[in-house]
């Protein structure tokens, strides 16, 4: 089966983008972010599947399902607060072997010390933090270019 799809997976509280701490996360909504990802993917002839959950296990399930489908060429993952806590997500990325680009809207390294640690960065293909919503577009672009090179 040909992999033509990129999973855009967002974690807890990102459903509130647009109204959530706009001074940190900006005013674009999750719908705006997902539309941006879809446009970038379409420019490479690819599609996106967008999912968001506030529940750690559902994010793990989404990674398992993406891998099992055989159709997902990579994942744009903003695990939000679970980035800094989740061994389960780390293990899911390792288990599925899906190429993951870790994205954060804010520059987590310029924020509180507990945000400086990511359980996901060691297994991510790339990490984009602090580019706001553009980071999602860059991540889709990167996964698409990587896929088209293969
Ligand atoms: C975030 C950064 C995390 O530290 C935070 O818990 C989030 C969003 C970001 O996109 O900047 O929920 O992942």
Ligand 1 atom index nearest CA of 129:
11
pLDDT at 150: 78
Residue 104 is a catalytic residue = yes
Neighbours of 57 (CB within 10 A): 11
Whether residue 63 contacts residue 96, with contact meaning beta carbons closer than 8 Å, is answered with yes
Phi and psi at residue 56, to the nearest 5°: -55, -50
Q: Is 3 in the pocket of ligand 1 (CB under 6 A)?
A: no
Q: Is 115 in the pocket of ligand 1 (CB under 6 A)?
A: yes
Tally of domains in the chain: 1
Residue 25 is a catalytic residue = yes
Q: Which CATH number fits the domain that encloses residue 93? A: 3.40.50.9100
> What's the pLDDT tens digit per position in 18-49?
999 999 999 999 999 999 999 999 999 999 99
Domain assignment of residue 139, given as a range: 5-149
Q: Is 80 in the pocket of ligand 1 (CB under 6 A)?
A: yes
77 SS3 class? strand
Phi and psi at residue 148, to the nearest 5°: -70, -25
Residue with the bigger pLDDT between 148 and 72: it is 72
Ligand 1 atom index nearest CA of 104:
10
Q: Is 13 in the pocket of ligand 1 (CB under 6 A)?
A: yes
């Amino acid at each position: 089966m040909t992999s033509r799809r990129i999973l855009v997976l967002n974690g807890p509280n990102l459903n509130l983008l647009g109204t959530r701490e706009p001074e940190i996360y900006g005013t674009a909504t999750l719908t705006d972010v997902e539309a941006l990802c879809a446009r970038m993917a379409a420019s490479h002839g690819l599609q996106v599947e967008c999912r968001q959950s506030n529940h750690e296990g559902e994010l793990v399930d989404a990674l398992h399902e993406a891998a099992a489908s055989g159709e997902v060429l990579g994942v744009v993952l903003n695990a939000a607060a679970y980035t800094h806590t989740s061994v389960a997500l780390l293990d899911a990325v390792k288990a599925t072997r899906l190429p993951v680009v870790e994205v954060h809207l804010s520059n987590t390294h310029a924020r509180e010390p507990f945000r400086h640690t990511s359980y996901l960065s060691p297994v991510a293909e790339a990490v984009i933090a602090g580019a706001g919503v553009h980071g999602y577009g860059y991540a889709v672009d990167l996964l698409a270019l990587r896929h088209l090179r293969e």
